[in-house]
Amino acid sequence: MKERYPWKKEYDIGIEEINNQHKKMLAIINRLYNESEKTNVSKEFIADIITELEDYADYHFSTEEYNFMKYDYKGAKQHILIHRQFKRKIAIFKEEYKKNNDILTEVITFTKNWLIHHILHEDMKYAPYLKTDKTNKQQD
């Protein structure tokens, strides 16, 4: 099946482990979209996918943040803050969805836009530093 939000070459940050995690996150969002298009899907089933996205984002952010420490990335503090804001937003969406089914479209659009923007504008900033070793450390 053709994906609603396909992976594009421009999302490649040059680090395979991180790319694979980004692909997996996008795949969960695509699954959420596909399920949202069906007529007889249970609310619990959708809620479980939102939780899966939340859990996977958590795992993925931990990978990135571990690498920020490992490579002493100078932009870590700001980047971690953005991760925290996303996690808070998902937690709010989860609560909202319990009360209001209509929010699902917003959940999908927001998470898709957020992920793509985050890859292109934030993850691209750390990519060169995580690809080099300690001897090529960024200038203070």
Residue ranges that bind Fe ion, judged by CB under 5 A:
64, 123
Q: How far is the CB of 33 from Fe ion (least distance, A)?
A: 22
Cβ proximity to Fe ion: between 50 and 60 the closer is 60
5 sits in the region (left: phi over 0; alpha: psi -120 to 50; else beta) called beta
Q: How far is the CB of 121 from Fe ion (least distance, A)?
A: 10
Cβ proximity to Fe ion: between 25 and 104 the closer is 25
Distances (CA, A) of 119 to 6, 13, 26, 125, 127: 14, 8, 11, 9, 10
Q: How far is the CB of 118 from Fe ion (least distance, A)?
A: 6
Cβ proximity to Fe ion: between 25 and 49 the closer is 25
CA-CA distance, 81 to 58, in Å (whole number)? 13
Cβ proximity to Fe ion: between 35 and 110 the closer is 110
Q: How far is the CB of 50 from Fe ion (least distance, A)?
A: 19
Cβ proximity to Fe ion: between 3 and 58 the closer is 58
CA-CA distance, 11 to 100, in Å (whole number)? 32
Percentage helix, strand, coil, to 5, in the chain? 80, 0, 20
Distances (CA, A) of 48 to 3, 37, 51: 20, 16, 5
